Amino acid sequence: MKAKSLQERVEHLLPAVTKPGRYVGGELNQVVKPWESVQTHVALVFPDIYDLGQANLGIAILYDLLNQRVDVAAERAFAPWVDMEAAMRDAGIPLFSLENKRPLADFEIIGVSLPYETLYTNFLNILDLSKIPLYSKDREIQHPLVIAGGQAVFNPEPVAPFVDAFVIGEGEEAALDIVDAHQAWVESGGSRQDLLLRLAQIPGVYVPALVKVDYHPDGKIKTIEPADSRVKLPVVKRILAKLPPPLSRFLVPNVEVVHERVSIEIMRGCTRGCRFCHAGMVNRPIRERAAIEVMEALTAGLDQTGYEEVSLLSLSSSDHSEIIPLIEGLRELLTQRQVDISLPSLRIESFSDELMDGLQSLSPGGGFTIAPEAGTERMRNIINKPLRDAELMDTVRSVFEHGWKSLKLYFMIGHPQETLTDVEAIADVCKRVLHEGRQIAGGRVRVHAGVSTFIPKPHTPFQWAAFDDPTAIDAKLTLLKDALRGSKIKMTWNDPRASLLEAWLSRGDRRIAPVIERAWRKGARFDAWGDQFRFEHWESAFAECGLDPDFYSFRERDLDEVLPWDHINVGVRKSFLQEDYRLSLSGGVRPDCRDQCYACGILTAFSELRRAQPGGGWKCP
């Protein structure tokens, strides 16, 4: 009897698992190239299930870019859900790509997207399911090159031992450079070490094996230095001088995924400088796409996909200099076609009546969301999201006057210097909002408070701050729940233990890697999924590795301490962050830097690039 192909073996077990359509590919606009027809095979991996990964814009962009090259085939792979993992392990089936149904170990390059820390165990699980050694040092010449990128790896250290090379920053150009370097290396017949050295020469590429870290006896970092004279530190992140034409050729999934819509990034970066915000610091400088380019891409995307929804992505949509023309364009689109429009991330300060009118006409009957982040003016100044109570209430009134009935307010607790008065104020704000809403729009008004816990993030002014004590967080949540009881305001909050895990991982160093491995071996997977998260695995993993988790979460760092990510330069100077942190202690604010430059360092870091490629839509003054 002839041996069954991998594809046949997979298909035979699929009827027994949930949502088998996750594992078969075959979507409209999928690119399948004959395996032997290309020189370099790249597996693009999002380490969560298809339902999430297929909706990820980063993966979609790289898939499109890499497949435009005739010498490259980019294929996709995602984490199998727990039932499929069990079935695959049972049948001895390795993780495979959706296009050619090839084991991941057959690819030359594996590119993993790590947008958040709670994907780390899934990443290890994927390597293991692919029969690829977990640690970079154990991989040999026949193994794929493992690349990681994404928002989380601006601090690459917690997963550094598992990754051959990181892309720090924007991946569009770096991905192509990595393929070129790999091809040149194959031709040269060099060793794996040669490959790593070649990669380390690419701007924005960080090869952790070529960097060594030494520690003080108290566990703090002493030095981070190149392990090879040919390696230069710091690694400066990669950015594009001008955003490329947006993607309009999207895959159309055959089974339901989280977002099924044409998503267009209208700008990259943010000028608001909220001190807790990782994305706002690491994605500078601000670069916009022209409204006309956005509208053309939306139209082309709708034609390509047949989707019924469009979404404009950015960190602060209402700050786009052409937001009014954009909304006009969307309104026109709405009258031509039956589509829903979503426009997230709107800033309270930037609402005009004109904008409100436009938004209401786009989404009648929808809800409105604003994020004051804190309940008092004092606290909002500390986090540099300055907003007077009166302004907040003006905006709220305007929302209800324009016809919205449902308002969602986002807050964070656990900010540096937060007192119980600040927390109580959150409940007061919510109640006042509900009261105003009822005055204006009547009894059907609904107010929803989403409360998350502040997590200090690398490369932000709060990177030195301590993560709030769990008992304090519990007390604050209890206070809010009590204060809102019987008020008809719906409140939702994050699991404080999930936030604690994120706090450990986001500011971790290399010594965390064995903890991640151990937690994974104990069964930690899908840590971002409330029903799969097993906090106890992490606690025991830390204990067994002899590492004190409090060192990473609850310790306030000295301003002159060497931080695990000090060798990664995101363009914002450490001295600027220090200055801004000090300023926060006295309640000093730095409003929108579109109007006034505070010299964060980004312009100096990329002045040459900006000069070489002018006209990139930079909105720095």
Q: Give the binding site for another protein (CB under 8 A).
A: 12-16, 20-21, 23-28, 30, 252, 254-256, 302-308, 338, 340, 365
**Burial, 261: exposed, middle or buried (Cβ in 10 Å; 0-12, 13-18, 19+)?**
buried
Closest to another protein by CB, 16 vs 599, is: 16
Question: Cβ distance 130 to 107 under 8 Å?
Answer: no
In angstroms, give the least distance from the CB of 338 to another protein.
Answer: 5
**Burial, 57: exposed, middle or buried (Cβ in 10 Å; 0-12, 13-18, 19+)?**
middle
In angstroms, give the least distance from the CB of 77 to another protein.
Answer: 15
Closest to another protein by CB, 307 vs 467, is: 307
Closest to another protein by CB, 9 vs 521, is: 9
Per DSSP bridges, beta strands 287-288 and 267-268 are antiparallel
Q: Hey, what are 193's tokens?
A: 């070490």
Whether a cis peptide bond, with omega within 30° of 0, leads into 234 is yes
Closest to another protein by CB, 28 vs 420, is: 28
Closest to another protein by CB, 258 vs 585, is: 258
In angstroms, give the least distance from the CB of 22 to another protein.
Answer: 8
Question: Cβ distance 517 to 166 under 8 Å?
Answer: no
Closest to another protein by CB, 304 vs 406, is: 304
Rg (CA), the chain: 24
Closest to another protein by CB, 16 vs 86, is: 16
Question: Cβ distance 76 to 25 under 8 Å?
Answer: yes
Q: Hey, what are 362's tokens?
A: 């786009």
Closest to another protein by CB, 147 vs 302, is: 302
In angstroms, give the least distance from the CB of 93 to another protein.
Answer: 13
Closest to another protein by CB, 100 vs 317, is: 100
Query: Nearest to residue 374, comparing CAs of 426, 300, 328?
Result: 426
In angstroms, give the least distance from the CB of 195 to another protein.
Answer: 35
In angstroms, give the least distance from the CB of 252 to another protein.
Answer: 6
Let me know how long the chain is. 621
**DSSP letter assigned to residue 459:** T
In angstroms, give the least distance from the CB of 249 to another protein.
Answer: 12
**DSSP letter assigned to residue 80:** P
Angle formed by the axes of helices 323-336 and 291-305, to 10°? Answer: 30
In angstroms, give the least distance from the CB of 64 to another protein.
Answer: 18
Distance of alpha carbon 341 from alpha carbon 362, whole angstroms: 7
Sign for the CA dihedral angle at 40, 46, 47, 50 comes to negative
In angstroms, give the least distance from the CB of 361 to another protein.
Answer: 15
Query: Nearest to residue 574, comparing CAs of 606, 600, 607?
Result: 600
Q: Hey, what are 577's tokens?
A: 């962050």
Distance of alpha carbon 563 from alpha carbon 439, whole angstroms: 51
